[in-house]
C-alpha cells in the first residue's frame, strides 16, 4: 500500500510540470547537502559564485579562426552557332563533242559512146538519204559528296587566380608568461 502511494505521488509529479520542477530542485538540494555543497556549485554553473565563474571562463576561452575557400562552378553558355546550308554556284562549261555526218560523193566516169535502148527523158530520179549526228544537251543530277556536322566535348584547362583570406592567431604576452602549445593543431605565431 505504501509503494502504491509512492508510485501515485511520483506519477503526479511527472505529469505536472510545476511539481516536477520543484521535485527536481529539492532532489538537487538534498544531494548538495550530502556532498558538502559541491554538487550545487557544479550543476551547470548555475549556482557557482562569481569568482569561480570568471576563473572558468578565462581558462576555457577560445578564438575561432576562419579562412576563405574557393567555390568553383561551371556554367554552360552559348558560344556561337554553326549553320550548314547549300549554295548553288553556276559555272559555264565547254565540251568538245565529236559528231559525224554523211556526205554524198558524186563520181563521173566517161563511157565510150555505147549504144543505149533508153529514150532520153527527165523522169528518172535517184534519191540518196543523207544523215548527220546532232548534239542534244540535257542535264541530270549526281551526288558528289556528303557533309555532316556533330558536336564533341573538348576538355581544356583554364587558369583561375583569386585572392583568399584566412585568419591566423597571434599570441601577445606581457610579463613572464610560459605558453605550452599542442603540436597537433596548426602552429601559432
* pLDDT for residue 105: 94
Is the model's pTM score more than 0.85?
Answer: no
Ranges under pLDDT 70 in the chain: 1-59, 183-189
* pLDDT for residue 49: 56
In the block, cell 556526205 appears at: 103
| The CA-based dihedral angle spanning residues 86, 92, 96, 97, taken in that order and rounded to the nearest 10 degrees | 60
Helices 2-15, 17-34: crossing angle, 10 deg rounding: 110
Cell of 80: 556561337
Of 65, 101, 8, 41, whose CA–CA distance to 185 is shortest? 65
- DSSP state letters, 136-176: ------------------------------B--------SS
Percentage of the chain with pLDDT > 90?
Answer: 35
* pLDDT for residue 40: 47
Amino acid at each position: 500500500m505504501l509503494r502504491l502511494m509512492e508510485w501515485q505521488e511520483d506519477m503526479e509529479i511527472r505529469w505536472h510540470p510545476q511539481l516536477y520542477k520543484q521535485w527536481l530542485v529539492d532532489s538537487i538540494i538534498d544531494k548538495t547537502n550530502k556532498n558538502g555543497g559541491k554538487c550545487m556549485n557544479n550543476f551547470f554553473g548555475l549556482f557557482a559564485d562569481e569568482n569561480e565563474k570568471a576563473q572558468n571562463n578565462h581558462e576555457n576561452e577560445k578564438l575561432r579562426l576562419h579562412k576563405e575557400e574557393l567555390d568553383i562552378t561551371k556554367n554552360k553558355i552559348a558560344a556561337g552557332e554553326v549553320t550548314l546550308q547549300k549554295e548553288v554556284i553556276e559555272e559555264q562549261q565547254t565540251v568538245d563533242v565529236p559528231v559525224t555526218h554523211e556526205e554524198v560523193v558524186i563520181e563521173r566516169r566517161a563511157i565510150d559512146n555505147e549504144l543505149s535502148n533508153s529514150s532520153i527523158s527527165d523522169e528518172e530520179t535517184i534519191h540518196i538519204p543523207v544523215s548527220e549526228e546532232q548534239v542534244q544537251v540535257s542535264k541530270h543530277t549526281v551526288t558528289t559528296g556528303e557533309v555532316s556536322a556533330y558536336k564533341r566535348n573538348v576538355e581544356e584547362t583554364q587558369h583561375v587566380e583569386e585572392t583568399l583570406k584566412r585568419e591566423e592567431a597571434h599570441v601577445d604576452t606581457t610579463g613572464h608568461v610560459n605558453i605550452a602549445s599542442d603540436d597537433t593543431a596548426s602552429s601559432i605565431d
